[in-house]
Structure 1
Amino acid sequence: MPDGKTAKPARGRTDWAALRALSEDEIERIAAGDADNPATVDEAEWARGTVGLPPRKTAIHATFDQDVVAFFKQGGRGYQTRMNAVLRRYMEAQIAKKEG
């Protein structure tokens, strides 16, 4: 880093002391109420699930309007992934339109 400064390690947002203070029963109760907890998904939902790898990425050189890039960068890290998601959604909509 410039000027002899050293990087500080990133601080997490987990309150480890509060987490350690929870009992197993409290942890189980919290987990059971969490809609994102895979253990709370019923068997029918799992039966509809699919497993697959994400599509392979291809590096390209592309030029975008400055305001478009600035818009996506406002969301922070991962702006290229978000841009890809928008392009993918457009592609899927066009394919669906062709298929009827």
Structure 2
Amino acid sequence: MKRASLDDLQNFNKEGKLSRNPTPLEGEDLGPDFWANARVVEPKEPRSVHLKLDPDVFEFFKSQGKGHLTRMQEILKAYVKAHDRS
């Protein structure tokens, strides 16, 4: 994948270097079984909380780079799922 500015894209278009398919392929048909079992899932509103963490725990996640808060959230979700008794 290559980044291009708006000017680059406009120039590519003028030069005929942008490809367009006037009849794109249709997507996969999901079939009636899929739709019979489909259900609407309402998104849950996330809650913003303040959480005290030991510095070494926070630094461990932060040292893994961008997305450390999301990784913490995913680990907590997995813990809840593993201990869900319902």
When normalised by structure 2's length, the TM-score is: 0.55
Q: Larger C-alpha radius of gyration, 1 or 2?
A: 2
Count of aligned pairs = 72
**Equivalent residues in 2 for 1:25-64, closer than 5 Å:** 25=23, 28-29=24-25, 32=27, 40=28, 42=30, 43-46=32-35, 47-64=37-54
Q: Which string of whole-angstrom CA distances, capped at 9 and with x for unpartnered residues, describes residues 36-84 of structure 1?
A: xxxx35143243233211243132132142223312xx2x2x3312210
Residues 81, 67 of structure 1: CA spacing in aligned structure 2 closer, same or farther, 3 A cutoff?
A: closer
Displaced runs of 4 or more, over 3 A: 12-20
Question: Out of 17, 20, 23, which is 1:22 matched to?
Answer: 20
The RMSD of aligned alpha carbons is: 3.3
When normalised by structure 1's length, the TM-score is: 0.49
| Structure 1: stretches of 5+ with no match in the other structure | 1-11, 33-39
Identity of aligned residues (%): 14
In structure 2, distance between residues paired with 1:41 and 1:83: 37
